[in-house]
Amino acid sequence: MESLGVLMLHPFNAYLEQELDRRFRLHRFWEAPPGAPRDEFLRAHAGSIRAVVGNANYGADAALIDALPALEIVASFSVGIDRVDLAKCRDRGIRVTNTPDVLTDDVADLAVGLAIAVLRRIPQSDRYVRAGQWKAKGDYALTTRSNEFSILSNVTKFSGKRVAILGLGRIGLAIAKRAEAFGCSISYHSRSEKPVPNYKFYGNVVDLAANCDVLIVACSLNAETCYIVNREFSGKRVGIIGLGRIGLAIAKRVEGFDCPVNYYQRTKQAYPNYTYYPSVVELAANSDVLVVACPLNAQTRHIVNQEVMNALGPKGVLINIGRGPHVDEPELVKALAEGRLGGAGLDVFEDEPNVPEALFGMDNVVLVPHVGSATHETRTAMADLVLGNLEAHVLKKPLLTPVV
């Protein structure tokens, strides 16, 4: 492999670091502390750094991109790319990749896990056992002592709850499927495209075409064109422009020929079993559990504000597996402290790794350190995608998971 100069921004994955070192010419950004040494480091290596590898918390901002005149590609070890200056990358012709799909199950599992942990008070039960209170005070679930009783009265079911999802993308949809299996009703609010499970969405037609063997234009399609798909196409990757009724019918047919389906479209997909709310406040007002699963951008920053939390109400639970800034954190602390919101399960925070201390003392809150995708299997698959994208770039092949 040609010796691509790669700047890794943080040691977030040992396997990835090792493979980057083995396959490319790796520069470890963390070895130069911020300030003058880092500027010096960048000046010394700027000419040879053609790739940057970041993650959900360490991205390529405008200053870093400006300091790297030879930069060609930013490969993020994350699905969210809110820390990459996409506009600047587009201007400079720098490619950007992320790690979609491989982490969907893990993040969805965690969202449901957090909801159950909050509603069933699993961490509190664990602490009850560890503190020797089971032996001293009796069964947790049966206790009638006044202070524990108040906890017990807040322990409620997850099964059958009304679950609302902010952002019905790949992860949101996977959460919906899981919650459906718990007998929950699903509602959602989403601005972006709504992918169909198993089919891979591309945001532009060129990338779609680059990742397909057969490209079908289905947005103004007639019945005859369907016959373009026949047995000769078995196993071919099929790209469909326009996943309307006809596009979907074609997708179903080609799936029967073991063809993976990619698609591009501008319009929204309807999900017959899920209730769509055009307003987030209305969505929250009609839910028991509100899950944030949308990408972070200017429109979704603080999308969960005081009004939304009040609408969710004193029995409502907020789950955030998206990004910290989706939620107005000071307002969240106030809503929980004042009992205007029932509980929260949080994987992400506004200023990670800083977590508002007020949350530490709250029994209706479950906190985890941004571990949505943190299983061995998924992190390895994410690392392989980063490596695959860099190798494809060097070999001038289509990128595996392009964003820009």
Q: Which of the residues are catalytic?
A: 323, 352, 370
By CB under 6 A, is residue 172 in contact with ligand DGY? Answer: no
Q: Based on CB atoms, which residue is closest to ligand DGY, 95 or 170?
A: 170
**Binding range to ligand DGY, per CB under 6 A, among 61-69, 72-80, 246-254, 257-265:** 72-80
By CB under 6 A, is residue 385 in contact with ligand DGY? Answer: no
Residues 6+ apart with CB under 8 A from 166: 172, 188, 189, 190, 280, 283, 290, 291, 292, 293, 294, 300, 303, 304, 322, 326
Residues touching ligand DGY, count (CB under 6 A): 8
Report CA-CA distances (Å) from 52 to 90, 99, 115, 255. Answer: 15, 14, 35, 36
Closest CA to 246 of 228, 225, 231: 225
By CB under 6 A, is residue 78 in contact with ligand DGY? Answer: yes
Most distant CA atoms of the chain, gap in Å: 76
**From 16, 68, 79, 332, residue interacting with ligand DGY (rule: CB under 6 A):** 79
Q: Quick count: other Cβ atoms within 10 Å of Cβ 119?
A: 24
- Report in angstroms how near the CB of residue 58 gets to ligand DGY at its nearest: 12
Closest CA to 394 of 20, 1, 119: 1
As a whole number of angstroms, the distance between CA 271 and CA 265 comes to 16
- Report in angstroms how near the CB of residue 77 gets to ligand DGY at its nearest: 7
- E strands, 85-219, where? 95-97, 162-166, 185-189, 199-201, 214-217
Q: Based on CB atoms, which residue is closest to ligand DGY, 102 or 243?
A: 102
**Binding range to ligand DGY, per CB under 6 A, among 75-83, 183-191, 278-286, 310-318:** 75-83
- The structure tokens 């491989």 sit at 102
**From 26, 74, 75, 103, residue interacting with ligand DGY (rule: CB under 6 A):** 103
**Secondary structure element (H or E) that encloses residue 111, with its range:** helix 104-120
The vertex-303 CA angle with 185 and 329, nearest 5°, equals 105
**Binding range to ligand DGY, per CB under 6 A, among 74-82, 132-140, 179-187, 311-319:** 74-82
**From 65, 75, 107, 111, residue interacting with ligand DGY (rule: CB under 6 A):** 107
- Report in angstroms how near the CB of residue 324 gets to ligand DGY at its nearest: 10
- The structure tokens 């590898």 sit at 53
- Report in angstroms how near the CB of residue 79 gets to ligand DGY at its nearest: 4
- Report in angstroms how near the CB of residue 71 gets to ligand DGY at its nearest: 21
Query: Interface residues with ligand DGY (CB under 6 A)?
Result: 56, 78-80, 103, 107, 372-373
